[in-house]
């Protein structure tokens, strides 16, 4: 079994210390193989905030740590830096904005949908994404598990959040289907969403969407407490579990979905 811990929208600079400790305790007990940080690591892209996010990730016992930037990981008020060197602290603490990690059985393609000239909205850089996906799929072969992490989502739960969907969502979904992507990790709207794409896109092969909420920030939304997702991949099936903060200060599974794969791709069981 492979276990992936998805943590998103920590917004360090707005974190709640007790919740940080609770996430670290629960996440380390789960013993994930991979930790994916799906964007908005910081609130204002300050060096101290990135340092706190890095230390948080390191305290979680996972052999592999991956991340993608979110819109909050670019400076908002320092316009000179935003235009000249917007990702300097992200790169210092978390490395490349786009990359491929793989171990021969599975791969994670990390995509950056942000741009210094956009405030919140994201857009997949399709040509760059194609090159990364092609490389990953070639190494994996046709059946290896291929995941993508990208901050802005392909779908949202709340109608008010529709403007926050990726600008080129339909084209992105087509590209993911072409390369037989299995799971897409996203964040951004602080409202978890776990689903397949059968009723969402007309594509040749369907995949799983694992949209995570905000893990440790006080910037929660009504009906969506602090949370993170855990993805278990075992015996050809995938289970995505939403771990939500309870009134007793601990995280417990609030919802989980099981997915199986057929000729059309992935489908909720």
Pairing of strands 208-211, 193-196: antiparallel
Q: What's the confidence (pLDDT) of residue 79?
A: 79
Q: What's the confidence (pLDDT) of residue 181?
A: 98
Q: What's the confidence (pLDDT) of residue 80?
A: 76
Mind spelling out the 3-state secondary structure of 129-171? HHHHHHHHHHHHCCCCEEEEECCCCCCCCCHHHHHHCCCCHHH
User: For the chain, what is the domain count?
Assistant: 1
Q: What's the confidence (pLDDT) of residue 157?
A: 97
Tens digit of each residue's pLDDT, the chain (269 residues) = 999 999 999 999 999 999 999 999 999 899 999 999 999 999 999 999 999 999 999 999 899 999 999 999 999 888 778 888 899 999 999 999 999 999 989 999 999 999 999 989 999 999 999 999 999 999 999 889 999 999 999 999 999 999 999 999 999 999 999 999 999 999 999 999 999 999 999 999 999 999 999 999 999 999 999 999 999 999 889 999 999 999 999 999 999 999 999 999 999 98
Q: Which domain holds residue 83?
A: 2-268
Taken as a whole, the chain contains a residue count of 269
Which pair of tokens denotes residue 79? 């316009």
C-alpha–C-alpha distance, residues 169 and 171, integer Å = 6
C-alpha–C-alpha distance, residues 193 and 98, integer Å = 24
Q: Which CATH number is 63's domain given? A: 3.60.21.10
C-alpha–C-alpha distance, residues 149 and 160, integer Å = 23
Which pair of tokens denotes residue 251? 């995280």
The strand ranges marked E within the chain are 2-7, 34-38, 64-68, 99-102, 106-110, 145-149, 183-186, 193-196, 208-211, 227-234, 237-245, 251-262, 265-268
What is the edge-to-edge ordering of all strands in the sheet holding 106-110?
99-102, 106-110, 145-149, 183-186, 208-211, 193-196
């Amino acid at each position: 079994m492979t276990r992936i811990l998805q943590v998103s929208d920590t917004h360090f600079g707005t974190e709640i210390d007790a919740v940080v400790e609770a996430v670290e305790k629960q996440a380390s007990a789960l013993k994930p193989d991979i930790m994916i940080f799906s964007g908005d690591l910081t609130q204002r892209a300050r060096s101290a905030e990135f340092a706190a996010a890095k230390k948080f990730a390191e305290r979680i016992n996972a052999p592999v740590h991956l991340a993608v930037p979110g819109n909050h990981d670019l400076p908002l008020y320092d316009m000179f830096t935003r235009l000249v060197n917007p990702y300097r602290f992200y790169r210092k603490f978390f490395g490349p904005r786009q990359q491929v990690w793989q171990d021969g059985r599975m791969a994670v393609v990390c995509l950056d949908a942000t741009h210094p000239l956009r405030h919140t909205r994201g857009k997949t850089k399709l040509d760059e994404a194609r090159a990364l996906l092609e490389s990953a799929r070639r190494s994996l072969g046709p059946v290896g598990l291929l995941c993508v992490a990208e901050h802005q989502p392909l779908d949202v739960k709340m109608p008010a959040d529709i403007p926050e969907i990726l600008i080129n969502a339909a084209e992105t979904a087509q590209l993911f289907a072409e390369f037989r992507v299995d799971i897409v990790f996203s964040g951004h709207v602080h409202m978890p969403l776990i689903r397949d794409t059968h009723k969402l896109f007309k594509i040749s092969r369907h995949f799983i969407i694992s949209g995570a909420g905000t893990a440790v920030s006080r910037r929660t939304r009504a009906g969506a407490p602090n949370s993170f997702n855990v993805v278990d991949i075992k015996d050809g099936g995938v289970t995505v579990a939403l771990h939500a903060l309870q009134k007793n200060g601990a995280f417990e599974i609030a919802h989980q979905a099981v997915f199986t794969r057929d000729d059309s791709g992935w489908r909720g069981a």
